[in-house]
Amino acid sequence: MVLDDATSEVYYAQLVEEESTRTVLAALREVVEQQGRFCALYSDRGSHFWLTPKAGEMVDRQRLTQVGRALRELNIEMIPAYSPQARGRSERNFGTWQGRLPQELRLRGLTTLEAANRFLQESYIAEFNRKFRVVAAQPESAFVPCSGYDLDRIFSVQQERTVNQDNTVSIANRTLQIEKTKWRGTLAKCRVLVCEHLDGCYTVYFGPHQVGYYQADGTPGRPAPTTFEESGKPAPPAGFPLSTNAVPQGTANSNRGQITC
């Protein structure tokens, strides 16, 4: 579940077998697409959010998870919570959901994940927000449009690979064949970026060039544009500096723009 720290409005909720990097990326992508980029994400220290060298100690802010890398590319600050009390607003919200949602599902005879999630999207989230959303101290929104960002690439699981001598890369028991390009006959021994997208498809990038697109089983898909310009999507901004407007830990946000996950 993803909710606004100022208003407790729920922006996303989904029942899954287990929370994971991919389910969190999917949740955050939907919020960014529908609401825009936000200032900060306040989260627990789950392994898909943070790397913690020693259990119970400070998180490692230098080594990013896939979620951390994606939010850094969007210039969104991440704030770790070091106790359940630090996330009191969201914990109380979760408690309300745990008390109400099972009863709602039982009354409607909804027993599958698909049916329950359809109920969440079609009616429950909106009804919940009508009853429990509060007014922010400041009405202005801190969300900003996400135009100019390649969300397909940002919200993917990214791994670097070295191209084999036969111009292939191997990932997840799949071999992805990279076709020749107009500007280079082979990429053998070059480092490339392999992106596994949320729909299971793969793309391969050499610098700014997309050199391959593949279905979930590794078979080539539609022809890949060779640059961001050809694809119609602008390249992501360089540097990805962290936001200097992060809300200090332990304080509540007074207007919309910090969310809790």
Q: Where are the domains of the chain?
A: 2-145+252-260, 151-231
Instruction: Please state the pTM of the whole predicted model.
Output: 0.82
DSSP state of 196: E
Question: If you ran DSSP here, which 8-state letter would residue 23 be given?
Answer: H
CA torsion through residues 233, 237, 240, 242, sign: negative
The residues, ordered by sequence, that sit 6+ positions from 17 with a Cβ below 8 Å of its Cβ are 113
| pLDDT one-digit tens code per residue, 193-218 | 999 999 999 999 999 999 999 999 99
Q: What is the pLDDT of residue 5?
A: 87
Chain segment 1-14, per-residue pLDDT in tens: 999 988 999 999 99
Q: Which CATH class is domain 2-145+252-260?
A: alpha beta
pLDDT bucket at 22, cuts 50 / 70 / 90:
very high
Q: Looking at the DSSP assignment, which residues form a beta bridge with residue 177?
A: 168
